Amino acid sequence: MSEVRSRVESLRCKECGESYPLEARFVCERCFGPLEVAYDLSGLDPAETRRKIQAGPQSIWRYADFLPFARPPQTALPAGMTPLLRADRLAERLGLREVWVKNDAANPTHSFKDRVVNVAVAKARELGYEVVACASTGNLANSVAAHAAAAGLESYVFVPADLEEQKILATGVYGTNLVAVRGSYDDVNRLCTELSADHEWAFVNVNVRPYYAEGSKTLGYEIAEQLGWELPDRIVVPIASGSLFTKIARGLEEWLEVGLVKGDFPAFNGAQAEGCSPVADAHAENKSVVRPVRPDTIAKSLAIGDPADGPYALDLARRTGGGIDAVTDDEIRDGIRLLAETTGIFTETAGGVTTAALRKLAECGEIDPSERTVLVITGEGLKTLDAVRGSFETHEIEPTATSFAAEFEGEPALA
């Protein structure tokens, strides 16, 4: 038995603690709570582990000791090690000292979903599946189609029929079986849960969800490593299901446990669109129950009306001194523009949500100006072009210097 194998113990219920074998299952038979991967990290030496990470591949697999495999799998399409950029102009605009942007749009299919799909597809192959599938609001569809193609697996991708055209095109090009469902994401997810009982397929965010979710931890690992093995003071993350939000935190908790990093745990701030803000609403009302809503927002990648990890996201925000805020569609558009104008990063609507939430936190004094804050950007703006349509002016001129002068310098054009 390898050294890594002993660290991956079982699947464990987040509610009652019941343990299960490392197979394709996602819900506890005893209490119906969600399952997650349990590890034994007690044998890891911090100095040796750090050296191993730094010598590892430029992908999520440099963190293999903290992922659910006996040994690092071979994957055809690497993900991770995306830029962490210091955003001084954004910080200045917001009146803050130090803001960093974790730009996960730099992944192969231009979103953080490549991290979770990299893990899920590798686990699906290990478990013997030949078909992978997913329910998606867009980014996951792109990623599953691409990673399945690279791995030589058949795939089925289920999306809401009203998804942005850019995300549809960027999914179908990989040769997947693309299924547009007339309904919301929650309708799509229910359908996939039903189909998972009748098909021998690995639904990455259903029956292999416990492994899939582990990929999100690598965002936390990278942030700490790229900050020189230090923790930020605050992290602002978009919330859809709540899994990304809570798993970034779990990754940092694991590194504190092992001793790879030290210091105070960051405050975690979540961001949602007002048109789909069940977790933000529960936080504002100081409730622990997240009531499902019907989504109506331009931020379709966050449009999950019944978020599976909503209660855990609430708990994380409250116990770390953070919060969960909602922003309007107009604020989302302004957030996209603000990030682009100050950093040169063009984000999709989910990044507009986090940027707008950061601006709101700064303006209301929730962030100490001396803090080091990390803003997580999860996807590429080319995926949601309609969100910025009409948000700027194009100057059309004749091909002459006098026409240019008339347009920009107030000089009359010569006849």
Question: What would the mean pLDDT of 166-174 be, rounded to a whole number?
Answer: 95
Residues 215, 117: contact at Cβ < 8 Å?
A: yes
Task: Give the model's pLDDT for residue 410.
Answer: 80
Fold match between domain 84-109+216-388 and domain 113-214: yes
Query: Residue 411 is encoded by which pair of tokens?
Result: 């000089």
306: left (phi over 0), alpha (psi -120 to 50) or beta: beta
pTM of the model: 0.94
Mean pLDDT of 272-298: 97
CATH architecture, range 84-109+216-388: 3-Layer(aba) Sandwich (3.40)
Helix (H, G, I), strand (E, B) or coil at 234: strand
Fold of domain 113-214: Rossmann fold (3.40.50)
Looking at residue 409, what is its pLDDT?
Answer: 87
Residue 167 has pLDDT above 80, yes or no: yes
Q: What is the pLDDT of residue 208?
A: 97
Instruction: Give the domain ranges of the chain.
Output: 1-71, 84-109+216-388, 113-214
pLDDT tens track for 69-104: 988 898 989 999 999 999 999 999 999 999 999 999
pLDDT at 2: 38
The vertex-355 CA angle with 351 and 358, nearest 5°, equals: 140
Who wins on pLDDT, 70 or 17? 17
**Residue 411's pLDDT band (cuts 50, 70, 90):** low
Tell me: the pLDDT tens digits for 213-265? Answer: 999 999 999 999 999 999 999 999 999 999 999 999 999 999 999 999 999 99
Give CA–CA dist 162/183, Å, rounded.
8
The reported pLDDT for the residue numbered 4 is 41
